[in-house]
């Protein structure tokens, strides 16, 4: 039996679409959209719909906003001209918490799809926060934690696809998801648990082992840099000195002295090289500062020597530390790493919640990792079994910056190894899932790096060719616009 609600929803949206698509989009009035506002999308409520005129490189589109129970706010933009017949969904970063539909650039950006003619959606992941490091929403709120952890992407995709089908009178020919950081984790969650949702997934710098990263590694970073009174040990102003020393020592390891370290695991620079021979000064490191760096560059280990989180900060990531890891010189604000860890440990990591009295400096590496098990099942996208995603013809494009100091890259390499082992070996895995390790690239490429004013990296065209023409990507290009007007580029082969 056809669902009468669905039929009437589809009929109303279709009537609206014919009005809109038949008329000049820029002349559409608000009235036709009221049909969409009252339409009952199964399992969602449309709260607004409006025509938006073409502007810049964005086509005229119908902007639909709605909510999915309990409080997932989503936005879907339906091109009124030049729809490419496909659907695109963008992820979000950190703890998300706002509907960032006009985010610029290509990272977690809805308009990156719209610009290419996609019907494009994103969501706030199910809660409102004052910033991407605000975790207070998660206090005693397991429903919102499930939405952020795994539910918001599949629900937003489902509702969006219903709207797309009704609006254009045909389903999207292909569906894509693209996200970085938490958005990368969302992409892997989709491939692992909801493998039918997307034909192609971009998972950048995926925070896939979220509990290991934001509880255990982050607490390790913070505690290594704190004295008994909680005061920072590393002089923030010395980070550029460390960055220069590492680059001088290891830049040429890959055969090119170009400011990029191709594989930081081969860099043997040790913090003790900068040890002060006399009193402390701006050009050397004290014994305590060397101790901080020794901990930051190593894997997190428990009292029995067991590795609790792999990798550590990659050599070459130092230019990006002030924002993420060490804090900005001259500021008393903690770095983002500590702000993420504080709210995660207070409101998101444990059942029951630890609450606001919990200090990241009290995280116990022997006892607390085991207490993450419950929320690990909600947040962590670590399952290497991608059989269903492969069988439905899905393609997964992973990338990670080799100079990412916050979502450190080793965990992604380890995950990809487990996928290769589970999915029949390297060659078999490369048929549907490829990883690109990007030299010199910060977390999601958000900071372009020393001497550069911008960085361009867009794997979407390569993923489209893979999904739609079965042309697997062997090489992806990164381009930097340098401050001196020159262009630096790197072709990166699949790992």
Interface residues with Ca ion (CB under 5 A)? 138, 251, 254, 256, 258, 260, 353
CB of 417 to Ca ion, least distance (A): 25
CB of 353 to Ca ion, least distance (A): 4
DSSP per-residue string spanning 429-472: HHTTEEEEEETT--GGG-S--TTEEEEE---HHHHHHHHHH---
Nearest to 13 by CA among 32, 26, 30: 32
Decide whether 179 or 440 has the Cβ nearer to Ca ion. 440
CB of 266 to Ca ion, least distance (A): 11
* Contacting residues for 400 by C-beta, under 8 A, at least 6 apart: 204, 205, 206, 407, 409, 412, 413, 435, 436, 437, 438
CB of 22 to Ca ion, least distance (A): 49
Decide whether 143 or 425 has the Cβ nearer to Ca ion. 143
What is the DSSP secondary structure assignment for residue 285, as one 8-state letter?
Answer: B
CB of 270 to Ca ion, least distance (A): 19
CB of 488 to Ca ion, least distance (A): 11
Q: First and final CA of the chain: distance in angstroms?
A: 50
Up-side HSE of residue 406: CA atoms within 13 Å toward CB? 31
CB of 449 to Ca ion, least distance (A): 13
Decide whether 195 or 264 has the Cβ nearer to Ca ion. 264
Distance CA 409, CA 251 (A): 19
Decide whether 251 or 442 has the Cβ nearer to Ca ion. 251
Distance CA 210, CA 344 (A): 10
Q: Which burial class, exposed, middle or buried, applies to 95 when counting CB atoms under 10 A from its CB (0-12, 13-18, 19+)?
A: buried
What is the DSSP secondary structure assignment for residue 206, as one 8-state letter?
Answer: -
Report the 10 Å Cβ neighbour count for 174: 17
Decide whether 49 or 260 has the Cβ nearer to Ca ion. 260
Decide whether 149 or 322 has the Cβ nearer to Ca ion. 149
Decide whether 197 or 251 has the Cβ nearer to Ca ion. 251
């Amino acid at each position: 039996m056809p669902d009468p609600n669905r039929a009437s929803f589809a009929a109303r949206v279709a009537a609206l679409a014919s009005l809109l698509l038949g008329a000049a989009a820029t002349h559409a009035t608000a009235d036709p959209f009221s049909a969409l506002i009252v339409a009952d999308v199964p399992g969602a409520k449309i709260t607004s719909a409006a025509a938006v005129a073409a502007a810049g490189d964005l086509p005229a589109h119908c902007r639909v906003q709605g909510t999915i129970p309990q409080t997932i706010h989503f936005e879907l933009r339906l091109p009124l001209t030049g729809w490419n017949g496909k659907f695109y969904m963008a992820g979000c970063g950190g703890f998300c918490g706002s509907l960032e539909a006009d985010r610029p650039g290509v990272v977690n950006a809805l308009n990156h799809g719209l610009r290419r003619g996609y019907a494009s959606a994103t969501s706030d992941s199910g809660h409102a926060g004052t910033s991407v490091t605000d975790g207070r929403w998660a206090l005693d709120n397991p429903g919102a934690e499930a939405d952020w952890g795994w539910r918001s992407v599949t629900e937003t995709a489902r509702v969006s696809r219903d709207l797309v089908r009704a609006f254009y009178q045909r389903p999207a020919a292909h569906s894509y998801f693209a996200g970085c950081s938490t958005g990368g984790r969302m992409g892997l969650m989709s491939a692992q648990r909801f493998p039918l949702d997307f034909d192609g997934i971009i998972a950048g710098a995926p925070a896939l082992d979220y509990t290991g990263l934001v509880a255990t590694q982050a607490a390790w970073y913070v505690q290594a840099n704190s004295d008994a009174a909680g005061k920072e040990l590393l002089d923030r102003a010395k980070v550029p000195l460390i960055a220069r020393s590492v680059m001088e020592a290891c830049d040429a390891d890959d055969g090119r002295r170009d400011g990029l370290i191709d594989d930081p695991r081969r860099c043997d620079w040790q913090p003790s090289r900068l040890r002060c021979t006399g009193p402390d000064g701006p050009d050397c490191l004290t014994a305590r500062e060397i101790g901080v760096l020794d901990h930051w560059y190593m894997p997190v280990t428990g009292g029995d020597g067991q590795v609790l989180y792999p990798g550590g900060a990659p050599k070459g990531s130092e230019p990006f530390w002030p924002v993420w890891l060490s804090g900005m010189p001259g500021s008393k604000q903690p770095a983002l790493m500590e702000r993420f860890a504080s709210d995660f440990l207070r409101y998101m990591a444990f059942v029951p919640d630890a609450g606001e009295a919990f200090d990241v400096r009290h995280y116990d590496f022997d006892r607390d990792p085991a207490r993450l098990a419950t929320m690990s099942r909600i947040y962590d996208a670590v399952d290497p079994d991608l059989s269903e995603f492969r069988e439905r013809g899905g393609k997964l494009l992973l990338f990670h910056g080799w100079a990412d100091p916050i979502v450190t890259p080793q965990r992604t390499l380890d995950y990809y190894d487990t996928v290769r082992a589970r999915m029949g070996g390297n060659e078999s895995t490369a048929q549907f899932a490829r990883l690109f390790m990007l030299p010199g690239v910060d977390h999601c490429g958000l900071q372009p790096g020393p001497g550069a004013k911008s960085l361009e990296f867009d794997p979407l065209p390569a993923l489209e060719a893979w999904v739609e023409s079965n042309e697997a990507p062997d090489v992806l290009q990164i381009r930097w616009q340098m401050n001196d007007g020159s262009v630096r580029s790197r072709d990166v082969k699949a790992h």
